[in-house]
Amino acid sequence: KPSWAGPVTSFLAGGFGGSLFWIFAFPFETIKHRLMTQPLEKPVYSSPVHCLRSLVASESTMALWRGFLPAILRTFPANGATFVTYEAVVQLFSGAHQIR
C-alpha cells in the first residue's frame, strides 16, 4: 500500500467522489421527488419528461439543483466516512492488522 494512502486520503476520496456523483444525480432526484410528492387525486405531472419540461419552463434550469448545498454538506462527510470504514474493514479481514 502506498505511504500516502491512509484514512485522510480515503476520507477525501469518498467525499469528493460522492460530491461529484451528486452534481450529476441531483436533477434526477429533484424530478423524482416532485413526482413522488404530487397529489394522487390530481397529478401535476404525467411523466418525468413532463416534470422536467414544466420545471424548467416555470422556474428555470437552476431549479433542478435547488437544495443542492445542504445535500453536499451532508454527502461529503457521509461518503468520506463510508470510504474510511470500508478501507478499515478490508484491512481487518485481509489480515493487515493482527488482533491479539
| pLDDT score, position 6 | 86
| pLDDT score, position 43 | 95
Give the Cα separation of 64 and 69 in Å (integer).
12
List the domain boundaries for the chain. 7-94
Q: Kindly tell me if the per-residue pLDDT of 38 is higher than 90.
A: yes
pTM tops 0.85, yes or no: no
pLDDT band at 23 (very low <50, low <70, confident <90, very high): very high
Where on the phi/psi map is residue 17: left (φ > 0), alpha (ψ -120 to 50), or beta?
A: alpha
